Amino acid sequence: MNDTAILHRYANPKAFSDLAASITPIAGIIALALFAIGLPWSLIIAPADYQQGDSARIMFVHVPAAWMSMFVYSCLAGCAIATLVWRHLLAEAALRAAAPLGAAFTAVALITGSLWGKPMWGAFWVWDARLTSVLVLFFIYLGIMAIFSALEESGKAGRAAAILTLVGAVNIPIVKFSVDWWSTLHQGSSVFRADGPKMAPEFLYPLLIMALAYMAVFFWMWLIRIRTEILVRRAASLEAAR
Amino acid sequence: MNDFFAMGGYAAYVWPSYIIAVATIAGMAIQTVTAWRRAQERLQALEKDAAQPTSQP
Amino acid sequence: MNQTHAFMAVVEREARLAWAGGGGAALPAGFFIGIATLVAFGLGAALDLAPKVAPAILWAGLSLSVLLSLDRLFEADLESGAIEIFHLSPLPMDLMITAKITGLSLGIGLPLAMAGAAAGLLLGTPAETLSWIAIELLLGAIALTSLGAIAAALAAGLRRSGLLVALLTLPLFAPVTIFGAAASGAAHLGFAAPGASLLLAITILAAIFAPKAAGAALRLALE
């Protein structure tokens, strides 16, 4: 079976639900295991930072959240393109399902970042490029969620949300490169760099474990939410037929 | 043990961060599963309804 | 040639509606000055702070004024069916929206820029910088109207869409407000002010690309 045939096969809601039903529990177990390993590692095993002391431990919950806020948006953008180009109902469902998750990760990133900023820079908030663009990202997520709720009955919610998602996608490179383009208080990239990560292993490893944990729990939740959306639509069509 | 909770003096920042992060993710997870269960129940109820013959005397 | 005529006709119509309809251009301008006055009242004894916060007030005021004018863009025409008629005209949707944005920007942008200069004077901004500030506000009005058109188009046809449009415009307006306030804050540097070139860049980009996004949203609304 060639690639497009595979894509189309899982684009069918029933086929997707079945596939998701088998993957979901695996994702859930992996997420649980990774958190069980990652949290103690972050809180106990990892050493305190030379300069920041134990406050650096916030990194292990803050950075993965920030990474997820961007990753989820990329997923949204992909779904948005699929929605607009192929009018895929499954893509619309996936878009709707992922938006609140992205908003939640962004909120965690903003709040934990704020709590880290106070001991590190002396301020809970500064209007530098990185923090401001992430706040804008948060509002874009809220806007996408608002469109779904406002245009619910029109049947156009998915496509309208897709348009907004793609317009807001301009913000993503700004978030990523804000620390390079502007002089910001926020630390520059130390992991996703062209010449590889420049973080010490005793910090890098727990960070990666936590990042994978966040990723796994996201997929677990996303798959369940998409299946929920499919069920809701079926229920709605049954009700309409009554 | 006390040292652990004190987090080198940063307890007021570290613990709320971890609690908020874990609580948010857990909260989203719970809401996800609850919505899923509710959708399943609703669909099952509707399908049962549709399968029954119309209740006319 | 037909297209150019159609374009200019829409621009003229929109500008005239902005000037004439329901208080016309005086309304946003008056609102803008009203905000500045309120801030001046609110500062009270701390009036020496006013020149420092003036850029922020001006740009927040500009954003609010443009936000209030946004429903003029599509709502009335959607209701009256004029949008569908435009759709049938030789003008493609994107160009039609560009024309509407141009018309609205001209209609309210110039009054807002001048009102902003006056408000700046009220708040103690040095007089030599006022012409630069007015230019920046005009650019800002064009950028904000263009970006706001996307939000207005997405919410088009919805009853009581005001809150949704306000929420959608927030992330869209943020960069313009940030760059604009930075530029106006250092207006004595003119074009070399930090944020000035970014303001110009975002205005140009918004003017070119926002109509496309708004067009897609409007076509969706027409279905």
A156 and C CB contact within 8 Å: yes
Question: Residue C185: which pLDDT band, with cuts at 50, 70 and 90?
Answer: confident
CA distance A37 to chain B (A): 14
* Prediction ipTM score: 0.89
| A107 located within any domain | yes
Look at B17 and A44 and tell me if their CB atoms are within 8 Å: no
| Lowest-pLDDT choice from A102-116, B22-36, C181-195 | C181-195
Q: Measured on CA atoms in the order A87, A88, A89, A93, is the torsion positive or negative? A: negative
How far apart CA B43 and CA A229 sit, in angstroms, is: 12
Domain that holds residue C102: 2-222
**Structural domain count of chain C:** 1
Q: Is the pLDDT of residue A139 over 90?
A: yes
pTM of the predicted model, to two decimals?
A: 0.90
Residue ranges in chain A assigned as alpha helix (H): 3-11, 13-40, 59-86, 89-121, 129-150, 157-168, 171-181, 201-241
Domain that holds residue A89: 27-45+54-241
A171 and C CB contact within 8 Å: yes
Rounded mean pLDDT, A122-138: 90
| A4 located within any domain | no
What tokens were used for C153? 């188009």
How far apart CA C177 and CA C60 sit, in angstroms, is: 7
CA distance A57 to chain B (A): 7
Which residue type sits at B16?
P
Look at A156 and C167 and tell me if their CB atoms are within 8 Å: no
Q: Which residue of A has its CA nearest to C222?
A: A156
C42 burial via Cβ count (<10 Å: 0-12, 13-18, 19+) = exposed
Which has more confidence, B27 or C76? B27
pLDDT in tens, A164-200: 999 999 999 999 888 888 877 888 778 887 777 888 8
Give me the pLDDT at residue A58, please: 93
Listed in sequence order, the residues at least 6 apart from C164 whose beta carbon sits closer than 8 Å to its beta carbon are: A146, A147, A150, C151, C154, C155, C158
| A22 located within any domain | no
| A216 located within any domain | yes
Residues in A 35-54 with any Cβ partner in B closer than 8 A: 39, 43-44, 48, 53-54
Q: Is the pLDDT of residue B57 over 60?
A: no
Is residue C90 within 8 A of residue C114, CB to CB? The reply is: no
Listed in sequence order, the residues at least 6 apart from C126 whose beta carbon sits closer than 8 Å to its beta carbon are: C51, C188
**Structural domain count of chain A:** 1
How far apart CA A37 and CA A26 sit, in angstroms, is: 17
Look at B18 and A221 and tell me if their CB atoms are within 8 Å: no
Set of chain C residues whose Cβ sits within 8 Å of the Cβ of A143? 167-168, 170-171
| A8 located within any domain | no
pLDDT in tens, C91-136: 788 888 898 898 888 888 889 999 999 888 888 888 888 989 999 9
Look at A118 and B13 and tell me if their CB atoms are within 8 Å: yes
Quick one: which of A13, A188, A158, A17 has its CA closest to A79? A158
pLDDT in tens, B39-56: 999 999 988 887 776 665
